[in-house]
């Protein structure tokens, strides 16, 4: 079956349960695809081949006896190398952890494996300090399967590249400044950033092992896949309260929403905008507006809109202020870490068009980055509460809000935080990539990203679909309708299995 490695996870699971194909066949197909292409992509940083084949054999034997392990029985998955995996190296792209082998799984990993999934390997991230490229000090950089000269995004770039190239049925990423959404945009796949606080982060490394639990806001786990259906499946498996993180609320998650409550596309009221954070590349604007026109033609109500009275540069600055506090004690204060922070501040404050630098300049929060106080942390949290309430109120009339992911598609590899050219205008790196992303980490609203088109040079373009907090299932249902109208996964040229 030539297209086996690109079949969505939910369909693979059904085929394995029906015994029209075996888990062993599926694992072998993915291993062959990895063997053929990973040396060019470096998307998989640690391969778990022998164990995966052994588990696949057990999965097939279990089904032959009538034993079903769960909704992902025998389905091979990969996991971003930020999540602890029992007995399998977990580095977070951080040199001091290059030989780290955890003794237990992260909660979300345990939940996927408990549903019958098979761990095929770990995917290559940026380092723990995070950039919009997946480069680190341990593994070779991850390349984009659509163009090897371009980044796959970051920090979940290996995850997105692996899914796009047919290395895995499903991957688990994480997002603190767009780290799921920007890579899936760059690689032409699907991603979900859930509501802040919805899913347990126990066993996720940004705090290095032994550090206190510092990162309590803005960082969320989420699935990366080749269909909205797979996002839904993964979300329902990993969401829910966790004794290891008692702050996660016990909000119930239905595997499906009541179809009597689900709105058809013609009843949806959608907002869209592409210019509330400054210029966006022409290719991005054309793809978004083409999608809007397709939705209107399909009967949806779509209006140009952005939240009124939002001071977006101030929201960006507040993001930096809060990030400064939550990261401050998460990792040892070393010369290398300080150097990376200063490099980021210097390049974001000096590179790119001077006017665009004012959209969000981290130099404004140097004091909080290097000398935070408890009072300033509480002040930032209080301001965040106000911004969340303001966004909740603004989104209330709409079923979803459609916006760009980034100012440009995947860009060519470059030094960390180097400026990005967007239609002849030089942007600071974090603004070009994060201006439409970071504010939604700050507010905590859920977002689905779907592919909607391509640039003139053939690079994929994604779109953010923003929903109401705690309403992921409704958002996923809306995203699926939008996807059927304007989107569809296509694998990169040259990756079709033979």
Please tell me the distance from the alpha carbon of residue 428 to that of residue 408, in angstroms, as a whole number.
Answer: 12
Given this model, what pLDDT does residue 449 score?
98
2 confidence band (pLDDT: 50, 70, 90): low
- 241 in a domain, yes or no? yes
The pLDDT value recorded for residue 360 is 77
What would the mean pLDDT of 431-452 be, rounded to a whole number?
Answer: 97
Q: Is 107 inside a domain boundary? A: yes
- Interval 309-338 mean pLDDT: 83
Q: Give the residue-averaged pLDDT of 135-140.
A: 96
Residues 371 and 381 grouped into a single domain: no
- The domain spanning residue 200 has which CATH number? 3.90.1300.10
Question: Could you give the C-alpha distances from 355 to 98, 132, 298, 359, 361, in angstroms and in order?
Answer: 41, 22, 39, 8, 11
Residues 6+ apart with CB under 8 A from 138: 45, 91, 93, 94, 95, 98
Q: Is residue 370 part of a domain?
A: yes
| Separation between Cα atoms, residue 47 and residue 88, nearest integer Å | 9
Q: Please, which residues bridge with residue 450 across strands? A: 463
Residues 382 and 371 in one domain: no
With cut-offs at 50, 70 and 90, classify the pLDDT of residue 260. Answer: very low
pLDDT over 50 (residue 438): yes
Could you tell me if residue 491 is inside a domain?
A: no
Q: What is the pLDDT of residues 183-212, one digit of tens each?
A: 999 999 999 999 999 999 999 998 877 788
Q: Are 364 and 403 found together in one domain?
A: no
Pairing of strands 400-404, 220-225: unpaired
| Of 267 and 207, more confident | 267
Residues 208 and 97: their CA atoms lie apart, in Å, by 9
- Indicate whether 194 and 110 sit together in one domain: yes
Give 343-368 pLDDT, tens digit per residue: 888 888 899 998 888 777 888 788 77
- Please choose, from the candidates 125, 475, 482, 108, the residue with its C-alpha nearest in 3D space to the C-alpha of residue 293: 482
Q: Give yes or no: residues 464 and 350 share one domain.
A: no
| Residue 201 resides in a domain | yes
Do 117 and 103 share a structural domain? yes
Within this chain, do residues 34 and 49 fall inside the same structural domain, yes or no? yes
pLDDT of residue 257: 58
Q: Is the pLDDT of residue 15 over 80?
A: yes
Last residue of one domain, picked from the residues 325, 341, 376: 376
C-alpha 319/C-alpha 439 separation (Å) is: 7
Tell me, yes or no, whether 381 and 368 share the same domain: no
User: What confidence tens digit (pLDDT) does each residue in 226-238 have?
Assistant: 999 999 999 999 9
List Cβ neighbours of 389 (8 Å cut-off, separation of 6 or more). Answer: none
Could you give the CA distance from residue 253 to residue 408 in angstroms, rounded to a whole number? 35
What residue numbers bound the domain in which 47 lies? Answer: 4-309+377-486
- Mark whether 109 and 233 lie in a shared domain: yes
Mean pLDDT (whole number) for 395-414? 98
Q: Are residues 353 and 384 in the same domain?
A: no
Contact between 497 and 3 under an 8 Å Cβ cutoff? The reply is yes
pTM score:
0.96
Q: What is the predicted pLDDT for the residue at 498?
A: 56
pLDDT, residue 387, reads 98
Domain shared by 255 and 391, yes or no: yes
User: Which residue among 320, 354, 376 closes a domain?
Assistant: 376
Report the distance separating Cα 206 and Cα 128, nearest Å: 6
Same domain, 29 and 59: yes
* 153: alpha, beta or left? (left if phi > 0; alpha if psi -120 to 50): left
Confidence class for position 494, pLDDT limits 50, 70, 90: very high
**Could you tell me which residues come within 8 angstroms of residue 336 by beta carbon, excluding any fewer than 6 positions away?**
none
Query: Quick check: is 492 in a domain?
Result: no
Q: Is residue 165 part of a domain?
A: yes
Q: What is the 3-state secondary structure (H, E, C) of the chain?
A: CCCHHHCCHHHHHHHHHHCCCCHHHHHHHHHHHHHHHHHHHCCEEEECHHHHHHHHHHHHHHHHCCCCCCCCCCCEEEEECCECECCECCCCCCHHHCCCCCCCCCHHHHHHHHCCCEEEEEECCCCCCCCCCCCCCCCCCCEECCEEEEECCCCCHHHHHHHHHCCCCCEEEEECCCCCHHHHHHHCCEEEECCCCCCCCCCECCCCCCCCCCCCCCCEEEEEECCHHHHHHHHHHHCCCECCECCCCCCCCCCCCCCCCCCCHHHCEEEECCCECECCCHHHHHHHHHHHHHHHHCCCEEEECCCCCCCHHHHHHHHHHHHHHHHHCCCCCCHHHHHHHHHHHHHHHHCCCHHHHCCCCHHHHHHHHHCCCHHHHHHHHHHHHHHHHHHHHHHCCCCEEEEECCCCCCCECCCCCCCEEECCEEECHHHHHHCCCHHHHHHCCCEEEEEEEECCCCCEEEEEEECCCCCHHHHHHHHHHHHHHHCCCCCCCCCCCC
Asked which of 376, 392, 410 is the last residue of a domain, the reply is 376
Residue 371 has pLDDT above 90, yes or no: no
Phi, psi at 427, each rounded to 5°: -100, 145
The answer to the question of residue 397 being in a domain is yes
Close Cβ partners of 120 (under 8 Å, ≥ 6 residues apart): 27, 30, 31, 47, 48, 49, 52, 76, 77, 78, 167, 168
Q: What total number of domains does the chain contain? A: 2
Please give the distance of CA 292 from its chain centroid, rounded to a whole number.
Answer: 23
pLDDT for 169 beyond 60: yes
Mean pLDDT in residue range 338-345: 79
pLDDT greater at residue 335 or residue 376 = 376
Q: Which position has the higher pLDDT, 354 or 159?
A: 159
């Amino acid at each position: 079956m030539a297209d086996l490695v690109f079949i969505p996870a939910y369909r693979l699971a059904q085929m394995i349960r029906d015994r029209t194909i075996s888990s062993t066949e599926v694992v072998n197909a993915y291993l062959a695809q990895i063997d053929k292409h990973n040396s060019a992509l470096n998307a998989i940083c640690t391969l778990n081949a022998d164990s995966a084949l052994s588990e696949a054999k057990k999965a097939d034997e279990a089904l032959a006896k009538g034993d079903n392990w769960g909704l992902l029985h025998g389905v091979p998955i990969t996991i971003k190398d930020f999540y602890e995996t029992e007995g399998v190296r977990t580095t977070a792209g951080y040199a001091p952890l290059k030989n780290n082998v955890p003794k237990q799984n992260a909660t979300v990993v345990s939940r996927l494996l408990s549903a019958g999934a098979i761990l095929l390997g770990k995917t290559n991230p940026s380092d723990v300090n995070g950039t919009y490229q997946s480069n680190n000090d341990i593994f070779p950089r991850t390349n984009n399967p659509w163009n090897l000269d371009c980044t796959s995004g970051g920090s979940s770039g290996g995850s997105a590249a692996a899914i796009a190239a047919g290395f895995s049925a499903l991957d688990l990423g994480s997002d603190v400044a767009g780290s799921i959404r920007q890579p899936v945009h760059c690689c032409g796949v699907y991603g979900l950033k859930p509501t802040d606080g919805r899913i347990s982060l126990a066993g996720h490394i940004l705090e290095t092992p032994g550090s206190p639990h510092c990162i309590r806001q803005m960082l969320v786990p989420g699935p990366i896949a080749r269909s909205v259906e797979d996002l839904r499946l993964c979300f329902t498996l990993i969401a829910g309260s966790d004794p290891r993180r008692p702050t996660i609320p016990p909000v119930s998650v239905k595997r499906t929403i009541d179809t009597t409550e689900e709105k058809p596309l013609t009843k949806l009221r959608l907002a869209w905008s592409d210019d509330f954070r400054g210029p966006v590349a022409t290719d991005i604007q054309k793809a978004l507006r083409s999608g809007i026109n397709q939705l209107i033609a399909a009967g949806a109500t779509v209006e140009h809109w952005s939240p009124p009275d939002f001071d977006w540069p101030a929201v960006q600055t507040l993001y930096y202020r809060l990030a400064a506090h939550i990261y401050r004690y998460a990792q040892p204060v070393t010369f290398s870490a300080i150097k990376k922070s200063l490099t980021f501040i210097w390049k974001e404050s000096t590179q790119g068009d001077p006017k665009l630098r004012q959209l969000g300049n981290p130099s404004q929060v140097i004091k909080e980055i290097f000398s935070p106080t408890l009072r300033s942390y509480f002040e930032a949290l209080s301001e965040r509460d106000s911004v969340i309430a303001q966004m909740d109120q603004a989104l209330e009339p709409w079923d979803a809000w459609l916006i760009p992911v980034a100012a440009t598609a995947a860009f060519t590899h470059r030094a960390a935080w180097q400026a990005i050219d967007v239609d002849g205008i030089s942007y600071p790196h974090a603004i070009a990539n994060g201006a439409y992303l970071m504010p939604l980490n700050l507010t905590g609203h859920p977002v689905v990203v779907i592919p909607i088109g391509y640039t003139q040079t053939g690079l994929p373009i994604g779109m953010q679909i923003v929903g109401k907090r705690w309403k992921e299932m409704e958002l996923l249902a809306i995203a699926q309708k939008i996807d059927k109208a304007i989107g569809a996964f296509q694998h990169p040229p040259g990756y079709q299995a033979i």
